[in-house]
Amino acid sequence: MTREAPVVLWFRRDLRLGDHAALLEASRHSRHVLALYVLDDALLKPGGAPRTAFLYGCLEKLNEQLGGRLMLVRGDPAVEVVRAARSVGAAAVHVSTDCGPYGRRRDASVAKALAENNIDWVETGSPYAVTPGRVTKPDGDPYRVFTPFHRAWTAHGWRAPADTGPSLVDWVEPPRSLKVPRPPRVDAELPEPGERAALDAWHAFLEDGAETYDTDRDRPDLSGTTRLSPYLRWGCVHPRTLLADLGDSAGAKSLRSELCWREFHADVLWHRPETARENYDRRFDGMEYDDDREAFDRWCAGRTGYPIVDAGMRQLLAEGWMHNRVRMVVASFLVKDLHQPWWLGARHFMKHLVDGDLASNQLNWQWVAGCGTDAAPYFRIFNPTTQGEKFDPDGDYVRRYVPELRSVAGKAVHTLKDRPEDYPAPMVDHAHERRVALERYGKL
């Protein structure tokens, strides 16, 4: 009896074995599957050290789940994927669709190279509950505003989680493989990598956090968020898995909405890939910015003299992560108080965030800057002092990350009438810079 030809499952942003649509489809074509990951310098070189270190940890965990049968190669995917497939006589290469600008170009090249070698290319699923491009207006145009997208996304719905796991197929012994590289040195304290850690974090949140998510998610002083963004970034858990577990409480509805924001930004980038680097609203190409490297460096270091801003920037350096409310506050401060271009901040975030996701990062920065998808957000200029008082009412978040202020009790940490000598004075006057920002926006 002739043994059926194996297939390749090329892992990318889907570093798990549970709820894996491409794995399920691969199993329908062959019982014998080669697990493959390509270390692609086009993605690794611009990636920040926290994200790369977390990726390597996830690859180690995936290899353990596969019984040591993950084939790891380095090089041009258009060469290495074909070489790996041919090395085991594979009939097809299965993948989850990559929706990013680079991934789409890369996959077109790989599919072409495979076709030249009579090897099929099969895309199934994506890192999203609803693959970007699927939800459109009735006339086929993409949505430009979140609220109507959210309604259409909810109405579209999504499939139930795929019933997959490590025993679904027989994993082929790789004919050759590199060892997972040693992670780069990272000062930040990163989360535990891998699928098991992702599911543990999710189940812990469901037990203690889901019901109050709608009220606690904006409070950086509380543990009110899922902290799942690094796992979603690398596909250690699929959003469909999360959505299947959510009920109809206010907290569940709020979390569904946040997951939809992630999918909305991916959809925008799908239709407008240039917005990874350029203004979504091209009128903002004429925006006037300040060229002040010293000011930017003080913002990066968390030495602005505004406690909530400094706490956020230091959390980023300490953990490779920052609370979402504080991300908006520090972004507004850079763009509207320091008058710096949004892409400088976006680049700094991508360098340090363990959850750095191109679509979410770039388009959230554009939303804050006013040049993104929202109709008129330019006048939203966060007051860092009042934001701190509202969302960190007892000052616990600030004191956690700014040790110079730990002697200041309560919410007084946000106003600092008695400012410690080792903590800087505010580098700018917010009221004045707000007027300057509005004047510049008005000229557009």
Across residues 400-416, what is the average pLDDT?
97
Please name each of the domains of the chain with its CATH number: 7-126 (3.40.50.620), 127-161+194-271 (1.25.40.80), 282-442 (1.10.579.10)
Q: Average pLDDT, whole number, for the chain?
A: 96
Residue 2 assigned as binding residue: no
Residue 229 assigned as binding residue: yes
Residue 357 assigned as binding residue: yes
pLDDT in tens, 263-290: 999 999 999 999 999 999 999 999 999 9
Residue 355 assigned as binding residue: yes
Residue 97 assigned as binding residue: no
Around Cβ 143, how many Cβ atoms within 10 Å?
20
Pairwise CA distance, residues 31 & 67, whole Å = 16
Query: Which range among 71-75, 201-205, 227-231, 375-379 shows the weakest confidence by mean pLDDT?
Result: 375-379
Residue 227 assigned as binding residue: yes
Query: Which range among 2-11, 65-74, 231-240 shows the weakest confidence by mean pLDDT?
Result: 2-11
Pairwise CA distance, residues 373 & 147, whole Å = 11
First to last CA, the chain: 73
- The pTM for the full model equals 0.96
Q: How many CA atoms lie within 13 A of 267 on its CB side?
A: 27
pLDDT in tens, 323-334: 999 999 999 999
Residue 221 assigned as binding residue: no
Pairwise CA distance, residues 432 & 429, whole Å = 6
Around Cβ 432, how many Cβ atoms within 10 Å?
10
